[in-house]
Structure 1
């Protein structure tokens, strides 16, 4: 679980940087990089990030924040 808590924030920083660097040649949204990097380091491919209770709690918190942000965009 210690590696998971290091990999997740690292990917959160790496995805926008990669999108910016590659954005000079091809325009790909940041969310695409986040999804692809998440699949690569997740348990299905490399297995660096493993599911854990704390990670599940963080994901639920992130989903709640996404709903709040989406709610503020609705007029």
Structure 2
């Protein structure tokens, strides 16, 4: 239940970021769900709690948005 709430919060944050910066919302949502876990998994860091999972998701979304901004310029 807490994980679902965190995913909903992350999705809402991605929608907000997408509206404010003009980025595709889908990019932020997919990044928050997959990129953060993948990148931190490569480093051997795995989320064990709700807060760490949320933090990794937000960092993944930020990385993906940053990469997309660099590609689109």
What's the TM-score, normalizing by structure 2? Answer: 0.44
Structure scoring higher RCO (CA < 8 A, sep ≥ 6) equals 2
Structure with max Cα Rg? 1
Question: Taking structure 1 as the reference length, what is the TM-score of the superposition?
Answer: 0.43
